[in-house]
Amino acid sequence: MERGVFLYSAPVQLASTIRGQSYRFASVKEVLAKANPPKSGDDLAGISARDAVERVAARAVLANLTLRELRENPVVPYEQDELTRLVEDELDDQAYRAVAHLTVGQFREWLLDIDTTGPTLRAVSPGLTPEMAAAASKLMSNFDLMTVGAKCQVVVRANNTLGLPGRLSSRCQPNHPTDDVQGILASAREGLSYGCGDAVIGINPATDTAESTAEILKVIDDLLKRNECPTQHCVLSHVTVQMRALELGCPMDLMFQSVAGTEAANKAFGISAALLQEGYELINAKGTAKGPNRMYFETGQGSALSSAAHHGADQVTIEARAYGLARRYKPFLVNTVVGFIGPEYLEDGPQISRAALEDHFMGKLLGLPMGCDACFTYHAKMTQDELESLKVLLGAAGCTYLMSLPVGDDIMLNYQSTSYHDIPTLRRLLGKRPTPEFDAWLDAKGIWRGDGPGPKFGDVEAVR
């Protein structure tokens, strides 16, 4: 009966007892929501546990559910959502069968076991649904999330080889409030001179037009060619705009889109699986990166609720579902923009940090080259020190890449992220290196030598 997951649905046990008090839950979805660590977004949605004891009761129920039961009870029904259908229809059955019998509690222990290695996790990954990754995260502490996250190895290639052990990469993000290309160029050169940008030179445009996208891409393409710099470029306009720009004829290494975890939330973004497939095929045909990986996705907890498209499910589970969609397109980059959405979804430093580690763990477990925009907006309750600590946690957890901007300040989007100075600092602290191709380029330019700054470190004249 392995194939017939929808042919039967055995009643699942949804009750637990703590100190004589019994707790009952109406659905797997409710158990998943109430098992979540505190998040202001789940409170806003009215689905979180009413207190810490009920939260543990939900976790006790969750620990005894099997992965098979999670597959049979997706948080958005098969009939109502194309993401559920895609995950269900495309799941690797052999990989699924290897772990289907485990309870979530056993699954957590199996993930943490020293004998469960990175290659094993990579092999099982195509058999996991997003709900399984989310469920495991709810039984894990920050250290658990980091331990498993660090084990997962997801290696991808475009012009660079990203995700190898002992590497920490960065997106250089030279945004400008009016897309002044000279301003963008100045910031990009500065970033490269600090050893940033091996994941991508990625610009969020102020103007979402094909012409503007093409104009920025040409300038960055010239910069990379002039300096023979091995990295990728991307302008993060809407996927339809990038498709038009490609058809106008412009260099484009990676194609970007923001994605969310339900069909309805993606509709609010103006996308569908069919549209992403179109973009994916176009960038594979006309993209300028060597490949084979050429897509770039951004996600973030809370985005579905912000368009009332969460189907009563918690924001961690919905976030995992976005990864379930992203993995279809073999992306080169995926990152959660964890603190950008605001305090109504992630209130403070502890919530933002927790969400970053959850997202990194879930993304890696589902087979993605997961990075993170560790950041806060100025109305969230997070300090600069907390943000710096989070970057160390992410680096230690094997996060594939972080962002990088001048002093971490995005002068267009008005939020605080990782700085050009933070990336070399983290590499020194954690003994990490950039991608091998970029490392060799930095060495040749005298910007970074071995494990420390070279003679041209921070010297923008080294990048013409």
Partner 1 sequence: MDALRDELGSSDPLPPVPAMPPIPAPPARVYSPRPERSAFAAQAAHHTTALVGIGHVGTRYATDVVLQFQAELAVAHAAVGAELPEGWAADNGFVGVCSRVTSHREFLLRPDLGRRLSDTSLETVRSRCDKNVDVQIIVADGLSAVACMQTGKALHDAVVRACSARGLKTGTPIAARFARVWLEDEIGQEVNAKVAMILLGERPGLGTGDGLSAYVVYAPKLGNTDGDRNMISNIHLRGIIPDDAAERLAALASAMIEQRSSGVTLDLGRLGEVSGGRGYRAPQVRQRLVAGGEPT
| Interacting residue ranges for partner 1, rule: CB under 8 A | 40, 43-44, 174, 176-180, 182-184, 186-187, 190, 194, 207, 342-344, 347, 377-379, 384, 405-407, 409, 411, 414-416, 421, 424-425, 428, 453, 457-458, 460-461
Nearest to 127 by CA among 102, 157, 156: 102
**Comparison of 149 and 406: residue with beta carbon closer to partner 1:** 406
**Comparison of 98 and 268: residue with beta carbon closer to partner 1:** 268
**Comparison of 41 and 363: residue with beta carbon closer to partner 1:** 41
The residues that bridge with 66 in the sheet, in sequence order, are: 103
- The sign one gets for the Cα dihedral 334, 335, 340, 342 is positive
**Comparison of 251 and 453: residue with beta carbon closer to partner 1:** 453
Nearest to 182 by CA among 190, 193, 194: 190
Shortest reach from residue 178's CB to partner 1, in Å: 5
Measured CA distances, 159 to 184, 187, 213, 292, 438 (Å): 21, 21, 20, 9, 10
**Comparison of 74 and 191: residue with beta carbon closer to partner 1:** 191
- The sign one gets for the Cα dihedral 280, 170, 206, 187 is negative
**Comparison of 9 and 384: residue with beta carbon closer to partner 1:** 384
Cβ proximity of 197 and 420 under 8 Å: no
Shortest reach from residue 412's CB to partner 1, in Å: 9
Shortest reach from residue 406's CB to partner 1, in Å: 4
User: Do you know the residue count of the chain?
Assistant: 464
Residue 200 burial (CB count, 10 A): 31
On the CB side of 426, how many CA atoms lie within 13 Å of its CA? Answer: 34
| Residues 6 or more apart in contact with residue 139 via CB below 8 angstroms | 35, 59, 62, 63, 104, 105, 108
CA atoms of 319 and 304, how far apart (whole Å):
9
CA atoms of 243 and 255, how far apart (whole Å):
8
**Comparison of 105 and 458: residue with beta carbon closer to partner 1:** 458
**Comparison of 62 and 185: residue with beta carbon closer to partner 1:** 185
Q: Give the residue carrying structure tokens 């103006």.
A: 270
Shortest reach from residue 464's CB to partner 1, in Å: 12
